[in-house]
Structure 1
């Protein structure tokens, strides 16, 4: 039997290395979304209350991309959420970092530089190999324990995620525990009533495995977004392909056509597909039935009839899980499908988890209350893997024999 130690198991006044995930959209070097900061601030605040000295490891972007920047600005944002000073050092495991770590006192918080700037953090390798990287070998001896609060990176076998638990005492933070518990509920909990999964977004390769792997626990699926259009195409409608200016449909259709058609045949009676779609017409929202339509423009949302139908389905559910948006909700004209369904979930007394990509952002953007959902997940890839029951290496390395 295995178990995971949490921060409840820590002795007070320790020097802790804490992995968080504050990776965020960045424009012109400025962070555009601070939701992850707010979540991790709760864990850090709790650690400070127990007089721990905290050094934080995090990443931003990936080498070669515009979002691959220093974490100096991140320290300021985190300090605002904590209402507590967060020191920053432009180094991760060199002399400057080690000096800053050595100077840590109980109640101090230090953010180390972007861990992906370190050789050995990437690529993904076996945890034992990652434990031998310079990052782990240098930092591990300077701390009493390691805390992983970065659930959204739990599917990555990177040094800062899987290396440290191999060589030192390791614990799960609050975000790690809460996200994992909520996101695995679709497979691990029994619900007294219908379980509905709302699937949208842009990636068929994410949606298809979810449908096939949770068929024994989910009663019905409501499809939208590009995923919904691709399934409509498989069902014989003249939608789900690229028009001028788009490149999202045809390559996914070519890659996944056989699987989509197989899933549609196997689960057709449990799949709810859009009956109408919305598009832009002279600057305004317009809608059309999928019956008899010929695709000549981009469809940007499910239509009002579909949104109302999906809202009725989730309102009659004991549990609802959401992965991906039903439309381009960032444009208010095409937010109706996503917001209508989210509002129905919020008004329903059901167990609910919303996540996948930027879907959770719609809750904040349109003034919904996170408290009306059982969990609003800020994880992407890890959320999808939890839904499908795939292994999360970042969780596995925290497990220990009882």
Structure 2
């Protein structure tokens, strides 16, 4: 796969795949990091007098109701503000004007590509007719959406079959920024900190990471499933029961690597309480790690040479349960180790606590980052990288 600076894009019509999948609540963008990071490639293309059809997904579209809350219209407005340029917004992803839209418009943003997932999953199943239609708007395809690089969708892998293709400036930065956690580049001790809500969609990735890392520090909802697998009571906390057997096997096989919380912060009868993990009661709900666990994790962070974090230690959006995430991130930011964060929640929490300057690299990818670290392959380019 070629790099944007290795091909002639002067005066070309460009189909540009971005990752503008930002968190939005009640129509308000909560974190515009991905939008801001997309600007460099867009400005580079504008400097080369390109006309650009931009496209991205937003959320998951499984039902008709999902269409209402996942429009890119607000994203378009924010992008227009940041660029200080008019952007034409196309509400229908298969509008008949698309093949000709760049003839008279320099900047165009297509509505959420995953609108085409309802009802037939044409985007996610890489419908080649859809990809061919989208590709008809341009002369060159640029993939700058590292966050979807682990998928073969119509808007990335599909379009690349019909146009001269390359990856953009942000994609390049992702590949360079992740080098310290890839293959023989990793300096040990290598610690992975894994948080977030659910373990079921990360189970195979965690297995692969356990083969590479020296320590796996577990927090968030993921820790609940690990604690339950060890026989602890987790009360009414979030649990992925269907993967308990898999998690038990991992704990047995990597007991020396997997580090779990010793104490947790729970909501008990509407009161916030920190207790040892053995003292969690049936009606407790775990929302954060406790002070003992924070100190234990800080100690292992101090011992590490390379650290990768994905997810958070608890419900950091609620001030009552932000301490674990804040203190672990602060320890990372102050560490002498090479520190890399990947995934929306990890990056959002780092930004919330103003700790970005303390990290060596913040990846815009979530699952894509994890899969690249474990498989060391970019699926949407097959074996090109």
TM-score (norm 1): 0.86
In the alignment, structure 1 residue 271 sits paired with structure 2 residue 258: yes
Question: 1:8 matched to which residue of 2?
Answer: 5
CA distance in structure 2 between the aligned counterparts of 1:349 and 1:10, rounded to whole angstroms: 39
Question: 2:155 matched to which residue of 1?
Answer: 160
Change (3 A) 1:221 1:139: closer
Give the paired residue count: 379
In the alignment, structure 1 residue 196 sits paired with structure 2 residue 197: no
CA distance in structure 1 between the aligned counterparts of 2:189 and 2:256, rounded to whole angstroms: 15
Change (3 A) 1:184 1:265: farther
- Structure 2 gaps of 5+ residues are none
Question: 1:23 matched to which residue of 2?
Answer: 21
1:69 shift after superposition: 4.1
CA distance in structure 2 between the aligned counterparts of 1:123 and 1:46, rounded to whole angstroms: 27
- The correspondence of residues 272-311 of structure 1 with structure 2, limited to 5 A, is 272-280=259-267, 285-311=272-298
- Structure 1 gaps of 5+ residues are none
Change (3 A) 1:256 1:138: closer
Question: 1:262 matched to which residue of 2?
Answer: 249
Alignment RMSD (CA, Å): 2.5
Kept in 2, the 8 Å contact 1:60–1:71? The answer is: yes
CA distance in structure 2 between the aligned counterparts of 1:202 and 1:366, rounded to whole angstroms: 20
Kept in 1, the 8 Å contact 2:193–2:308? The answer is: yes
- The correspondence of residues 2-401 of structure 1 with structure 2, limited to 5 A, is 4-11=1-8, 12-61=10-59, 62-64=61-63, 65=66, 68-104=69-105, 108-118=106-116, 122=122, 124-125=124-125, 130-131=127-128, 133=129, 135-183=130-178, 185-239=180-234, 242-243=235-236, 248-249=238-239, 252-253=240-241, 255-280=242-267, 285-368=272-355, 370-389=356-375, 392-396=378-382, 399=384
CA distance in structure 1 between the aligned counterparts of 2:351 and 2:71, rounded to whole angstroms: 26
CA distance in structure 2 between the aligned counterparts of 1:163 and 1:185, rounded to whole angstroms: 30
1:26 shift after superposition: 3.2
CA distance in structure 2 between the aligned counterparts of 1:68 and 1:395, rounded to whole angstroms: 30
> 115-124 vs 21-30, which deviates more?
115-124
Kept in 2, the 8 Å contact 1:224–1:273? The answer is: yes
1:196 shift after superposition: 0.3
1:190 shift after superposition: 2.8
CA distance in structure 1 between the aligned counterparts of 2:209 and 2:319, rounded to whole angstroms: 32
CA distance in structure 2 between the aligned counterparts of 1:374 and 1:353, rounded to whole angstroms: 6
1:77-135 deviations in Å (ceiling 9; x for gaps): 1112223332223344433333432113xxx322123323348762543x6xx33x1x3
1:309-329 deviations in Å (ceiling 9; x for gaps): 111211221111112211110
> 140-149 vs 321-330, which deviates more?
140-149
CA distance in structure 1 between the aligned counterparts of 2:186 and 2:377, rounded to whole angstroms: 23
